Amino acid sequence: MSRRPVWKFLLYVADNAQNSLHAIANLNVLCTEHLAGECEIEVVDVLVHPERALKDGIFMTPTLVKLGPLPVRKLVGTLSDLPAVLHTFGIEPVAA
């Protein structure tokens, strides 16, 4: 657990909207189950920081941005389709 986390995520949510909550939950599952919790996650509420959404070009919520490792990838939605998310981010699924 001393290793520096390699996975950096930025999650844009809108208040406590249903889909945002889903996304947060799904991201938590992803981190704990497939990345061994080696994640650094920042959650931005666009309703509180609309200027960030504007600056970063985030128009749909929830949006998950994988900042590291490169390349940067963007994913929109509740992340409910876990295998697809893993595939997109190039994560080897951990067999249950």
Binding residues for other proteins (CB under 8 A): 5, 11-12, 14-19, 22-24, 26-28, 31-32, 37-48, 50-51, 53-54, 57-63, 73-81, 84-85, 88
Residue number, 67 or 81, with CB nearest to other proteins: 81
How far apart CA 34 and CA 94 sit, in angstroms, is: 6
Q: Which residue has the tokens 């994988």?
A: 66
Q: At closest approach, how far in Å is the CB of 7 from other proteins?
A: 10
Q: What angle separates helix 82-89 from helix 18-34, to the nearest 10 degrees?
A: 60
Residue number, 57 or 92, with CB nearest to other proteins: 57
Q: At closest approach, how far in Å is the CB of 89 from other proteins?
A: 10
Residue 39 near residue 6, CB atoms below 8 Å: no
Q: At closest approach, how far in Å is the CB of 68 from other proteins?
A: 14
Q: Which residue has the tokens 């390349």?
A: 71
